[in-house]
């Protein structure tokens, strides 16, 4: 089996699209006057529930990616489940060589999570705040298992944004 064959077969599995976010730790944690770190975000399709008791979920991150490095240092993070009308957000945070995340968040409607400090999209289908419980190296990815601290459904209607056969899609 080649990488292309594996990729083609896996592309037939529809996946929900989420925005994974975290806030970098302060530049100098010992100085209360030090500026807070930047907010970071990335689009992911490999996010899933792991356990109900205790409530656990996981995200798969490319090893060595900015988010993988950040979550190795920052145990608190968040996930916003994207709605079908948020394709532009998915594309924005999936770009390679993109501009600063600070500028990407600037035009979005979001609030800071009370438990994680991470950005949560106000018009997401659902939001989760998590604390890392375990990190597992799996090939060229890291599986980050997090305890769910909060899970909310903001009340936004509409369907989910899906990723299928290499493109963003909608139900129906």
The predicted-structure confidence for 117-172, as pLDDT tens digits, reads as follows 999 999 999 999 999 999 999 999 999 999 999 999 987 678 999 999 989 888 87
Place of tokens 């925005």: 19
Of residues 79 and 13, the one with the higher pLDDT is 79
pLDDT reported for residue 158: 86
Structure tokens at 161: 């944004």
For residue 103 the two structure tokens come to 């500028």
Two structure tokens written together for 152: 């909310």
Q: In this predicted model, what pLDDT tens digit does every residue of 3-39 receive, in sequence order?
A: 999 989 988 888 999 999 999 887 777 777 777 788 9
**pTM above threshold 0.95:** no
Residue 74's Cβ-side half-sphere holds a number of Cα atoms within 13 Å equal to 29
β-bridge mates for residue 39, sequence order: 23
List CB contacts of 40: < 8 A, sequence separation 6 or more. 21, 22, 23, 24, 66, 67, 70, 101
* Mean pLDDT score, 54-78: 95
Q: Is the pLDDT of residue 95 over 90?
A: no
Phi, then psi, of 165 in degrees rounded to 5: 55, 40
Is the predicted pLDDT of residue 99 greater than 80, yes or no? no
Please report, for residues 27, 33, 36, 91, 166, the alpha-carbon distance to residue 23 in angstroms, rounded to integers and kept in the order given. Answer: 11, 17, 8, 20, 29
pLDDT for res 134: 97
78 pLDDT higher than 80: yes
CA angle 153, 156, 58 (to 5 degrees): 45
The pLDDT assigned to 98 comes to 60
Res 115 pLDDT > 80:
yes
Q: Which of 21, 44, 58 is nearest to 144 (CA)?
A: 58
Residues 67 and 74: their CA atoms lie apart, in Å, by 10
Q: What is the mean pLDDT of residues 61-88?
A: 94
């Amino acid at each position: 089996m080649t990488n292309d064959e594996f990729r083609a077969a896996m592309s037939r599995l529809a996946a929900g699209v989420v925005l994974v976010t975290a806030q970098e730790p302060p530049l100098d944690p010992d100085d209360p006057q030090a500026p807070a770190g930047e907010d970071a975000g990335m689009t992911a399709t490999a996010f899933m529930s792991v356990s109900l008791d205790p409530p656990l979920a996981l995200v798969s991150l490319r090893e060595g990616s900015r988010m993988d490095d950040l979550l190795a240092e920052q145990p608190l993070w968040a996930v916003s489940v994207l709605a079908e009308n948020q394709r532009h957000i998915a594309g924005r945070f999936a770009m390679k060589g993109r501009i600063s995340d600070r500028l990407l968040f600037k035009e979005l409607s979001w609030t800071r999570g009370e438990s994680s400090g991470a950005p949560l999209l106000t018009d997401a289908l659902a939001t989760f705040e998590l604390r890392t419980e375990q990190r597992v190296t799996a090939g060229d990815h890291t599986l980050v298992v997090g305890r769910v601290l909060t899970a909310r459904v903001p009340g936004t209607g509409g369907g989910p944004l899906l990723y299928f056969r290499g493109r963003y899609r909608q139900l129906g």
